[in-house]
Homo-oligomer: A and B are copies of this chain.
Amino acid sequence: MKALAIVSGGIDSVTLAYKLAHENQLGGLLSFDYGQRHKKELQFAAHTATKLGSPHHLIDLTSITKHLKGSALTDDVEVPDGHYAAESMKQTVVPNRNAIMLAVAFGVAPAHDLDAVGMAIHAGDHFIYPDCRPDFANLFEQMEQKALDGFWKIKLLTPFIGMSKGDIVRQAEVLGVPLAQTWSCYKGGAIHCGRCGTCVERREAFHLAEVEDPTKYADQNFWIEACRDRAPQN
Contact = CB atoms under 8 A, between A and B. Distances in A.
A68 B103 contact: no
Interface in A66-121: 67-69, 93-100, 102-104, 106-108, 110-111
Contacts of A191: none
B135 A67 contact: no
Nearest to A60: B63
Identical chains in the assembly: 2
Nearest to A106: B96
A36 to B, nearest CB: 15
A93 B151 contact: yes
Nearest to A105: B96
Interface string A122-139: 000000001101011001
Contact of A148 (B61, B96, B106, B151): B96
A130 B107 CA distance: 14
Contacts of A104: 64, 67, 96, 100
Contacts of A47: none
